[in-house]
């Protein structure tokens, strides 16, 4: 006579426990952590994104593909269980965003890097075809900001220093000249181009190392240039940011202008490209390699060095082709047997 009530109570407790567990799992899935999760995204064909006056999309059964990475806040559940997704990587937010940079500012930085990458890619491709491309020195481009130095939280990557204390800056060496001989603690006024506007920031210099008499603000610099192309080239990256699609875009521009770069193969490519054609390393190579595999491409061009080494770990049969320059990439593709 006592067994039926016991069963009812047990079933009720199990149901309650199940509901509590379900609520906990849902909460852990919904509430964001302080980490960023990177996930693979299948490679995308470049041709539909490129529009060139007088150009045309190739139709040889192959194609150039670019790869990107899905990036978002990880949930507490994903953090607890190491991502929960094939190919996921978790990073503290501070490692993804620059010091003092908000997610919105980082998105703006990524968009600017993408626009610059597109212009450089078009310039490299057109020069390869013997077309005249004009470049004009336009200041010192900030490529990185060192944590713990005066620039952190005030200046950011993609800012272009155009003057210091009213003195015009055209090349990175001008920054060194203006700051030479000024001891740590000197207050300097930096005017930078940011997006379509300008911003002026006053910063006290800091010793580059303890006890040094050389004052710095903690930025890494490269050359900023204005690029004038001989014809209109438009690339719509569908909101993807960052500079890593430069190599793929440069190859795609050549294809659009009639050069049979892929020889009928499906080729994924990643790498930041410089005006001299050098191919630089990029982040997220694990996810990008998986994304290239998922798209079913025949080969994956990646920057030589650490990127190529890491890509091979996740290739699982995908052909990895390391390259240091645009010309090396073209040579490697030219040695592939033509299909069709």
- Report the distance separating Cα 137 and Cα 171, nearest Å: 6
- Helix crossing, 246-256 with 326-334: angle to 10°? 60
Look at residue 27 in the predicted model and tell me its pLDDT.
67
Q: Would you say the C-alpha torsion 303, 46, 141, 277 has a positive or negative sign?
A: positive
Residue 241 has pLDDT above 90, yes or no: no
Q: Are 219 and 169 in contact (CB under 8 A)?
A: no
Per-residue pLDDT, averaged over 269-293, amounts to 93
Q: Mind listing the domains of the chain with CATH numbers?
A: 40-69+110-131+231-334 (3.30.230.10), 134-226 (2.30.42.10)
Per-residue pLDDT of 129-145, as tens digits, reads: 999 999 999 999 998 88
Model confidence band, residue 1 (pLDDT cutoffs 50, 70, 90) = very low
Overall average pLDDT of the 285-311 stretch: 96
Model confidence, pTM: 0.81
- pLDDT band, residue 56 (cuts 50/70/90): confident
Confidence of residue 309 (pLDDT cuts 50, 70, 90): very high
- List C-alpha distances in Å: 40 to 9, 69, 85, 294: 47, 5, 9, 9
């Amino acid at each position: 006579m006592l067994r039926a009530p016991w069963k009812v109570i047990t079933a009720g407790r199990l149901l309650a426990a199940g509901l509590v567990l379900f609520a906990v799992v849902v909460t852990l899935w919904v509430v964001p952590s302080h980490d960023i999760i990177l996930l693979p995204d299948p490679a995308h064909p470049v041709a539909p994104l490129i529009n060139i006056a007088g150009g045309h999309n190739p139709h040889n059964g192959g194609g150039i593909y670019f790869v990107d990475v899905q990036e978002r806040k990880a949930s507490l559940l994903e953090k607890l269980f190491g991502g929960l997704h094939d190919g996921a990587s978790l990073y503290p937010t501070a490692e993804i965003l620059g010091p003092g940079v908000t997610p919105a500012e980082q998105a703006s930085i990524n968009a600017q890097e993408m626009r610059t990458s597109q212009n450089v890619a078009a310039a490299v491709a057109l020069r390869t075809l013997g077309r005249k491309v004009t470049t004009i020195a336009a200041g010192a481009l900030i490529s990185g900001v060192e944590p713990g130095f005066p620039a952190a939280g005030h200046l950011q990557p993609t800012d272009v220093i155009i003057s210091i204390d009213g003195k015009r800056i055209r090349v990175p060496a001008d920054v060194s000249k203006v700051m030479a001989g000024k001891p740590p603690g000197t207050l300097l006024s930096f005017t930078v181009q940011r997006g379509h506007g300008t911003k002026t920031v006053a910063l006290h210099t800091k010793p580059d190392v303890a006890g040094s008499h050389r004052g710095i603000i903690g930025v890494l610099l490269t050359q900023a240039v204005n690029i004038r192309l001989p014809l209109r080239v438009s690339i719509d990256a569908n909101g993807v940011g960052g500079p890593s699609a430069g190599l793929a875009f440069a190859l795609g521009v050549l294809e659009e202008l009639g050069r049979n770069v892929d020889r009928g193969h499906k080729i994924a490519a990643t790498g930041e490209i410089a005006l001299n054609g050098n191919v630089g390393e990029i982040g997220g190579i694990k996810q990008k390699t998986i994304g290239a595999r998922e798209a079913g491409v025949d080969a994956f061009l990646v920057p030589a060095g650490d990127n190529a080494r890491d890509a091979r770990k996740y290739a699982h049969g995908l052909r990895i082709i390391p390259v240091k320059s645009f010309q090396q990439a073209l040579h490697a593709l030219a040695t592939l047997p033509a299909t069709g």
